[in-house]
Amino acid sequence: MTTHDVTEKDSRELPWWSNAVVYQVYPRSFQDSDGDGMGDVPGITSRLPYLASLGVDVVWLSPVYKSPQDDNGYDISDYQDIDPMFGTLDDMDTLLKRAHELGLKVVMDLVVNHTSDEHDWFKASAAGDSKYTDWYIWEDPKPGHVGGQPGAEPNNWGSYFGGSAWQWVPERGQYYFHQFSVKQPDLNWENPAMRQAVYQMMNWWMDRGIDGFRMDVISYISKTYDENGRLPGIAGSLIPERPAGPDGFDSPFDYCSDGPHLDEILQEMHREVFDGRDGYLNVGEAPGISAERATHVTNPQNKELDMLFLIDHMGIDQHGPAGKWSVTDWKLSDLRKIQARYEQIIDEGGWTSLFFCNHDQPRVVSRWGDDSSEESRTRSAKALGLLLHMHQGTPYIYQGEELGMTNADYTSLDQYEDLESINMYHQLVGAGVLSSDEMMNSIQRMGRDNSRTPMQWDDSIYAGFESADAHTQPWLGVNANKATINAQAEQNDENSVFSFYQKLIALRHTNPIVSHGHWNALDIDDEQVYAFTRTLDDHELVVVINVSSELAALPTQTAAVLNNTDHTNDEHGDGLHESKVILSNDSAQGVIEQINAKSLNPWTAFVYEVK
């Protein structure tokens, strides 16, 4: 049995979400109830029994607020209304009531790093209204330049969606800062009145019955200023401008992530919104926050956030001049090292989120699995699910992940809707950073539309996302593999990816080792087999996954743990037993045979109870 020192985690009572599973719904792609080609709130409500049958505990909704939909709802024009394309506030109330009847909690996306440029706050700020003057980040043109002309931008920062991060507003005579789309101006979190307006809105939703928030890029809200209150590279700033990259811009990331006032803002938010409430969940998307910092932010004693989405592991296959679009091979040892840092957060008193997929990432079975055949797709989808969910932390399932849905089958740029993919294609190809073919290959592998294709409910013409006689085609093309990958077929198949996820979720709910047990990696340098133990008191599980499409030798340390088992309570006491294989994507007998042969078949994954 693996032993470990008593940690801060061991000495505290863990909250309800320590063994919960969260399911992310991307509303426009989940279920269309009225045949207009867009998913909606009533559609989500109609599918809540499906989510309850899967066994999840929490439903996280991507934005359904009123929005011009420049960035698919992450550009909000009214935080306290539902966009007509999704329904009404009454529809939202119905969803909350039905979810709670089914034992499901509902978490809403909170996008407060920025608003839409069509939000009333921004309109007033752009017009010079004294109340809202500094609710956004405004700067004068570069000295000696005419505002709105090339080169007059306050510094050389570029937007993550392409082009300059500064937009000229003639009526105000200044530029506003936007890290993302030009229609997503960043809020100024240095302004206390603005912060209070956000907290009032959050309380309004909590009082209405939601169960918490997933906070979009919350690590970006505090920016770095010099001692005189100037951003880096701005005229007179004590922090100099850095050289531009090959696309003509410098990234603002280092100065806009995990800024100097993030902790105090999150603590203030906790006091103003969450103190005195029970049963909620607040999770933050946290690019730029290290594992060490995450331990502080998620430690309950600091009263900031319950958990964070850390994204270091999302970059293991992205290395080169084009950032995420420079897609490269990846190493299993890199993933293991990053996951070990995440696990350490929990051992040191914090908590972490577990995810491979979301609305911004491609489908993991296409990215790190093998979708070249139906057998390898099914086996690798189960294997990657087992790898993720058997860690400590709170696992998140993105819609369709429980079916093993794959990347989109698009072949040309005009099939894509994602603003980031389209803008970066023109910017990177135009600057000669990537060729057209290279960029299209990158979009096909990493573009955000890969995860946004309509949910595949059945094998009908629109995959059950909307009725076959709908007058409007879905907003994004349905994947042709709906004929074989769909919920209807998988719910009736005990060997499907869906059924495997049901068992995986049930194991977390019923076996305290999965949520509370200590994690310890085995064979840390192996590039094919990912193995670890989970230990609680005198019980231990061994988790083993061949993360490859090739035969893999059972690593030495893993083999020793599996075979150095106390069998005194076994029926015969003479070695490994099928009954000890408590979950696998293979037969229990097949697992034992592979262990004895010290050779794992492609994508074999199992959990073995040692003691």
CA 73 – CA 181 distance, rounded (Å) = 12
Res. 12 pLDDT band, cuts 50 70 90: low
Q: Which residues pair with 542 in a beta bridge?
A: 533, 608
Q: Which of 71, 153, 285, 312 is catalytic?
A: 285
- Report pLDDT digits (tens) over 200-239: 999 999 999 999 999 999 999 999 999 999 999 999 999 9
Residues 6+ apart with CB under 8 A from 129: none
Phi and psi angles of residue 212, each rounded to the nearest 5 degrees, phi first: 140, -170
Q: Which residues of 252-282 are buried (b: 16+ CB within 10 A; e: fewer)?
A: beebbbbbeebbebbebbeeebbeeeeebbb
CA dihedral 202, 203, 207, 213 (to 10 degrees): 30
User: 229 CB contacts (<8 Å, ≥6 apart)?
Assistant: none
The set of residues, in sequence order, having a beta carbon less than 8 Å from that of 456 and lying 6+ positions away, is 400, 403, 405, 463, 464, 465, 478, 479, 481, 482, 485, 486, 487
Q: What is the pLDDT of residue 570?
A: 47
Tens digits of per-residue pLDDT, 394-419? 999 999 999 999 999 999 999 999 98
DSSP assignment of 479-525 = PGGGGTS-HHHHHT-TTSHHHHHHHHHHHHHH-HHHHHSEEEEESTT
- Average per-residue pLDDT for the chain: 95
Please list, in sequence order, all residues whose beta carbon lies within 8 angstroms of the beta carbon of residue 168, skipping any fewer than 6 positions away: 141, 147, 148, 152, 174, 175
Q: Is the pLDDT of residue 585 over 70?
A: yes
The yes-or-no answer on residue 371 being catalytic is: no
Token readout for 336 is 């293991």
Q: CA-CA distance, 45 to 91, in Å (whole number)? A: 9
Q: What is the bridge-based pairing of β-strands 78-82 and 174-177?
A: unpaired
- 312, two tokens: 């270091």
Q: How confident is the model at residue 574 (pLDDT cuts 50, 70, 90)?
A: low
Helix ranges, 314-397 (H): 332-347, 364-367, 374-389
Weakest-pLDDT range from 102-116, 313-327, 594-608: 313-327
pLDDT at 568 over 80: no
Is the Cβ–Cβ distance between 488 and 459 less than 8 Å? Answer: yes
Cβ atoms of 115 and 198 within 8 Å: the answer is no
pLDDT of residue 13: 79
pLDDT in tens, 473-506: 999 999 999 999 999 999 999 999 999 999 999 9
> For residue 10, what pLDDT band results from cuts at 50, 70 and 90?
low
Over residues 82-96, the mean pLDDT reads 98
**pLDDT tens-place string over residues 101-159:** 999 999 999 999 999 999 999 999 999 999 999 999 999 999 999 999 999 999 999 99
Tokens of residue 49, six digits: 């029994």
Residue 468's pLDDT is what? 86
Question: What is the rounded distance in angstroms from the CA atom of residue 402 to the CA atom of residue 327?
Answer: 25
pLDDT at 146: 97
285 catalytically annotated: yes
Sign of dihedral through CA atoms 88, 90, 96, 100?
Answer: negative
Is 60 exceeded by the pLDDT of residue 6? Answer: no
- pLDDT band of residue 469 (cuts 50, 70, 90) is confident
- Please report the domains of the chain, with CATH numbers, ordered by start residue: 20-114+192-413+446-497 (3.20.20.80), 120-177 (3.90.400.10), 414-445 (no CATH), 511-609 (2.60.40.1180)
Mean pLDDT of 349-365: 97
Catalytic residue among 109, 216, 370, 466: 216
Confidence band (pLDDT; 50, 70, 90) for 611?
A: confident
Q: What is the pLDDT of residues 253-289, one digit of tens each?
A: 999 999 999 999 999 999 999 999 999 999 999 999 9
Q: State the pTM of this model.
A: 0.94
